[in-house]
Every structure is written in C-alpha cells, then in structure tokens.
C-alpha cells in the first residue's frame, strides 16, 4: 500500500461518513436525536477539516516528495469545497445543534419542521458531500486507478462527477423546500373567518 494512500484514507473516510450523516439529518423527527446527530456531524466535519488542513499545510511548506506531499497534491481539488464547509456549514451546524437542544428536554419531543428544514439546507449537506466526492480521485489514483492518466476515462469521469454534484444540489434544494413549506403556518381560510359568530 502506498504511503500517500495511508494518509488519504482517514481523510476520505471522515468526509464520506460526514456526507452520509448529513444526508440523513433531515429524516430525524425527534429533537434529541437531531441534536445528537448534529453533534456527530459537527465532530466529523471538524475532523475532516483538521486532517485536510494539516495535510495541505505540510504539503505547502515541504518541497520534498514524501507521502504527505503527494497526498496534499491530490487534495487540491477538495480544498475549495472544504473551505465552503468551514465558512458556511460549521456555523449552521452549531446553530442547528443549539436550536435542537432547546427542544430536547424530553426524549420523545418532536423536532419542529423548521429545525428539520434547517438540517436539510443545501449549505449543510452539499459542501460536505462535494468534499467527500472530491476526495475520491486522489484515493483512486493512490490505489492504482488513475482516471486522469487515460483520456478515454478522464472525460466521462469528470462528466459523471459534475452530474453527481448537480444531482445532489437539486435533491437537497427540493427536500429543503418541501420541509420549509411544512414549517410555514397554515393560512386561515376566509370562509372560516366569515363563519365565526359576531360578538357585540
């Protein structure tokens, strides 16, 4: 096993698990479970960010050809979505965890639709899942499957990656919109207001 594959595997694993947890976050209908799972996701994203930043920092300061240098070169693609996670996702996760904590006094307290909509926001799930997707090419390359080396594979791989990101974004946006609609208060029908008795 190549040295830089050993460096890349924990990073890719952290981001992949974070992507799965982020995808399942809006399905939780209990406030305590939502708070607990948000804490897991926050820990996973901070771990992924820490590992990614550490490898990139070592790669930038070192001029050698060590396994960490080669891993850092492969992680260049994941740097941009990881930055989006650090800027957007972490702050939203902290707010979501605090909001769920306010309702989590009892184990079976339902999670409000507003909190579930916040958990489904594309700025939580999409940057994490795109970062996880961006860690796959360097892992595959380190494992011996270099898609960029063969022009016949590079084009379809880039196309599939782009379509996967678009599909994830559309799916997350639709789910967030559906949950946000449920969180809106139901309008009072005019007929119901007219049917009320008058009091003088």
Average pLDDT, the chain: 83
- Tell me if 67 sits within 8 A of 3, measured CB to CB: yes
pLDDT tens digits for 28-78?
888 888 999 999 999 999 999 999 999 988 887 776 677 787 888 888 889
Find residue 110's DSSP bridge partners: 30
- DSSP class of residue 85 equals I
Threshold 0.85, pTM exceeds: no
pLDDT in tens, 18-38: 999 999 998 888 888 899 999
The angle formed by the CA atoms of residues 108, 110 and 113, to the nearest 5 degrees, is 165
Task: Give residues with Cβ within 8 angstroms of 76, minimum separation 6.
Answer: 56
Coil/strand/helix, residue 6: helix
What are the tens digits of pLDDT across the range 141-151? 877 776 666 66
Contacts 24+ apart (CB under 8 A), 154-161: 161/133
């Amino acid at each position: 096993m190549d040295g830089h594959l050993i460096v890349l595997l924990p990073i890719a694993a952290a981001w992949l698990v974070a992507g799965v947890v982020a995808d399942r976050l809006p399905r939780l209908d209990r406030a305590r479970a939502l708070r607990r799972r948000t804490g897991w996701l926050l820990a996973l994203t901070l771990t992924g960010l820490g590992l990614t930043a550490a490898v990139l920092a070592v790669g930038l300061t070192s001029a050698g050809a060590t396994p960490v240098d080669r891993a850092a070169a492969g992680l260049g693609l994941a740097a941009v979505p990881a930055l989006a996670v650090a800027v957007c996702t972490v702050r939203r996760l902290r707010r979501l965890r605090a909001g769920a904590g306010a309702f989590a006094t009892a184990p079976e307290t339902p999670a409000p639709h507003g909190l579930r909509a916040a958990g489904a926001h594309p700025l939580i799930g999409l940057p994490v899942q795109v970062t996880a997707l961006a860690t796959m090419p360097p892992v595959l390359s380190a494992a011996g499957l270099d898609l960029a080396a063969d022009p016949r594979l590079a084009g379809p791989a880039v196309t599939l990656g782009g379509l996967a990101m678009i599909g994830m974004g559309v799916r997350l946006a639709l789910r967030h919109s559906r949950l946000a609609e449920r969180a809106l208060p139901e309008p009072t029908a005019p007929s119901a207001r007219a049917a009320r008795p008058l009091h003088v």
